[in-house]
Structure formats: C-alpha cells, structure tokens
Structure 1
C-alpha cells in the first residue's frame, strides 16, 4: 500500500503523510478505516517508529485521521481533510486581511496575484 523511497529528497515521514492523504482523497481509504499501528507500519516499511508517528501526528493535526486511544488510528469520519484545511487557511487569511483594514476586493486581488494566468490555446 505505502512505499517509501530512501533515495528521495523528501523525508520519509512526508512521503507517508502525502501517500495517506492521496489514498483518502481518491477513496481508497474511506472514513472510519483503521490505519496500521505505528509499530506495524514502521516494521512493514523498515522505518523507525518515530518516523511513522510524526506522519500520523501531522495527519491528525490536519484533521485527516484521528486517534482513539487504545482502539487505534482511523481515517477521520468527516469530509475531505484537504478541503477542510484549505477552509481553515482561508478563514485565517480573511481574519488577517480584516485586521489590516483591507476589504474583500483587496484580498481577492492579492490571492489572484499568487496564481499564474491561465494559458489560452491560440
């Protein structure tokens, strides 16, 4: 299921985190699916348990998974965690913009500057 490339410049915990998010997003890991224990996944991947634990912590902070004590770690039962994280970032951004005394039009202009213009085929 998960693979870690030891030659990759991406740290192993990040490779695990990204792959689990992708599995959740594409529906391969449905809400309420139980994840392997930290020790089991670490052994399967040939990694230190702390590496897997860090990936799980990051996923839990983002709301993608939830730990239920001795019962284990599960895919969170709510909507897409990436979308939820994006909503959180958008709320924080809007709060900061208002605190700076700027309005919606200013905020949207600033966001639009961060995305390249779409290329049209001519």
Structure 2
C-alpha cells in the first residue's frame, strides 16, 4: 500500500491518510494482519509531522480498522470491514426503532429511500 498526501488538498493530511487506509481495507488491497509503517517512518517518507501520522493511526484504531500491538507496531485489524460492520449495526438499530414505533416495513423502507435520495 502506497500512501500519499496532496499538500494542495483542502482535506487535512491526517484525514487523507485515514481515508487511504480505509479504502485499502475496503478494496482488499491490504489484508488483516498486514503491518503498517511506523509513525516515524511514514512521517519521514511523506514529510509530515509524526503527530499527524499518529492522529491518523489513532483514529483508525478507534474505528477498529487497525490495531496497535505495542512495540510490534500497527497492523490491519482482523475484524473485517469496519464500515460494513458499523452500517449493519446502524441498520439493525433503525429496524429495531421502526418496530418500536409500530411502523410498517414499507413505511420504514420509504423513509430510508428518502434519506438516501432514492426516488420510487
């Protein structure tokens, strides 16, 4: 996985890194257990402050995309695609709430379609 930072982008560098790692996980470009470069090494390669890379790694770890194993380094987590997991959790919570409100399935699906901007 080759990480880059566009210095002309309005997106902060830590967020660019976070999004690239997340996309690599989603597409399968990296596999669970793959080791990431150390914070210091990646910061040196990209000309960034170590704190910038550390922030990206911290946010990826909070999102369960990577796991840090102390002195061994940071690795792609073995828990699967965190975006899909979080979406499944949100869908289950939505379904539970719709049932609690007594909404019919068709009405709940119409609400989701409208929220996603899907026209019937």
Instruction: Tell me whether the two structures share a fold, i.e. TM-score over 0.5.
Output: yes
Distance 1:32 1:51 in 2: 23
Shift of 1:69: 1.4
1:116 match: 117
**2:23 is the counterpart of 1:19:** no
Distance 1:88 1:48 in 2: 35
Contact 1:62 1:85 (8 Å CA) reproduced: no
TM-score, normalised to structure 2, is: 0.83
Higher helix share: 2
TM-score, normalised to structure 1, is: 0.81
RMSD of the alignment, in Å?
Answer: 2.2
Contact 1:32 1:77 (8 Å CA) reproduced: yes
Which 5+ residue runs of structure 2 have no aligned equivalent?
A: none
Which 5+ residue runs of structure 1 have no aligned equivalent?
A: none
Name the SS for the 2:40 alignment partner: helix
2:86 match: 85
Q: Report the number of matched residues.
A: 118
**2:34 is the counterpart of 1:33:** yes
Contact 1:32 1:74 (8 Å CA) reproduced: yes
